[in-house]
Amino acid sequence: MTSAEFRQAYESHKDSLFRFAWRMTGSTDAAEDLVHDCFLLVWRKKAAYDGSRGPLRSFLFGVLRNLALKRIGQERSFDELADDSAIAGPIDLVSRERGEIVAQAVGALPPLQREALILAEYEEMSLEEIGRLTGADLAAVKSRLHRARENLRRMLAPILDAKGTAYGRR
């Protein structure tokens, strides 16, 4: 990867990588650090990228998700991080904007469910692409995504089930 290619990769992917890191961590500073560290790592180990093994976007997301999970793992216990079948706890739905409520609900998901959901719903990646960059097989990705959606449906039920308005919009 030449300097020009690196620059182009940064310009093309910085926003989507930042959005992913921001949604994973819930922090602008943490997301900025993670994306910076991701590109720093890629720049220092340019030879690690093999174009024949998949698109650059998957490679960058793969590096970033490893850094993000490592950071999240430092803040949580290993059991909590590894348990992708965990059921998220209740969230506060009173006196909050809907965007904030969604952010809190997604943030309450176990990390592996959260990353699968963010990559599928917000970055519009296919199950195969998610599997490739997370190193999980297709069944595991489907299972994580299914559990994430179930958790969200349960947490956001008061909004989703509100009657007389479209999706609970006030």
Contact footprint for other proteins (CB under 8 A): 3, 6-7, 10, 14-15, 17-19, 22-23, 28, 32, 35-36, 39-40, 43, 98-99, 102-103, 106, 121-122, 149, 152-153, 156, 159-160, 167-168
Cα R_g (the chain), whole angstroms: 17
Question: Per the structure block, which two tokens stand in for 85?
Answer: 């079948």
| Cβ-contact 140, 131 below 8 angstroms | yes
Residue carrying structure tokens 């994973």: 24
| 10, amino acid identity | Y
Give the shortest CB-152-to-other proteins separation in angstroms: 6
Q: Which is nearer to other proteins, 133 or 156 (CB)?
A: 156
Whose Cβ is closer to other proteins: residue 138's or residue 167's? 167
- Minimal distance, residue 52 CB to other proteins, in Å: 26
Residue listed under structure tokens 């720093």: 40
- Tell me how far, at minimum, the Cβ of 35 lies from other proteins, in Å: 6
In this structure, the number of other CB atoms found within 10 A of the CB of residue 28 comes to 11
